[in-house]
Amino acid sequence: MLFTRRSVILALVAVTVWSAAGLAGQEAPSRASGPKWTHIVIADPLPGSSYGTGGIPLADFDGDGDLDVVVSRRETETAYWFERRDDETWVRHTLGQSEGLKGALGAAALDVNRDGHCDVVLNKVWFENPGNLTENPDNPWPAHVFGGGGHDVIATDISGDGQLDVITYDGTVVSWFDTSAGLNQTDIGQGEHNHGGIAPNGAADLDGDGDVDLVIPGYWFENPGKGQGEWRRHQWPHLPVERASYGTSMRVWIADINADGRND
């Protein structure tokens, strides 16, 4: 199915990013000189009802050099990938189905089985890229249920072996699934029944020792080294929203905000 209409339903945008360091001591750009945003429709409407769109991983799934999009839908228990032909032409393919998509919110794109093709993790299931999508984009992606799940799923290199692993946070437990060991599960630590908070980028070196630490609402977890051993939990001054309709929920992005060489 081809989608070519413009809207605000599901979009990829071209973004101009300014370096904070490069702007130090300079006046902020005027609105007229700012980045230009263009809405590009990928799918309108999405399959199923308006309820239950999960995380939206972006990656080059078919190896043609541009970004494609994956969407999961709770109602249909189905995941779809949208093949980019050009900005105006996107082709929808059924990626796969699984009961593990019922509560799907978290999502990440990475090479789970390390075969050189980008796979997709959606909640409690990961879909294996068949690897020949250029020739046959409708090839089914085998579904593999694993012990993950939760509001947030991210990909980062915990063990320092140069390969991405899977991190999930279900609001209570932060878990690491090692892709070098068949997604062997290690529970890193606990939060405070948060609604979410490790995505999209709550993983980086916070203590300057060269390995990846993790951040959730109110706490950060110190990597003991290659993920082996006890992860120490440290508090940080997070203030929850009073009388919130959900549990504490936030988005995390670790970056060197003040250009002092240390992550914030």
8 Å CB contact between 83 and 91: yes
CA distance 7 to 41: 5
- For the stretch 188-216, pLDDT in tens is 998 877 777 899 999 999 999 999 999 99
Residue 215, strand partner residues: 220
8 Å CB contact between 192 and 248: yes
The answer, yes or no, to whether residue 16 has pLDDT greater than 60, is no
pLDDT score, position 197: 83
- Which backbone phi and psi does 136 adopt, to 5 degrees? -140, 85
- Which backbone phi and psi does 205 adopt, to 5 degrees? -80, 110
pLDDT score, position 178: 97
- What is the total residue count of the chain? 264
- For the stretch 101-159, pLDDT in tens is 877 788 999 999 999 999 999 989 999 999 999 999 999 999 999 998 888 999 999 99
Q: What is the pTM of this model?
A: 0.84
How many Å is the Cα radius of gyration of the chain?
A: 19
3-state secondary structure (DSSP) of residue 22: helix
The answer, yes or no, to whether residue 21 has pLDDT greater than 80, is no
CA distance 149 to 107: 9
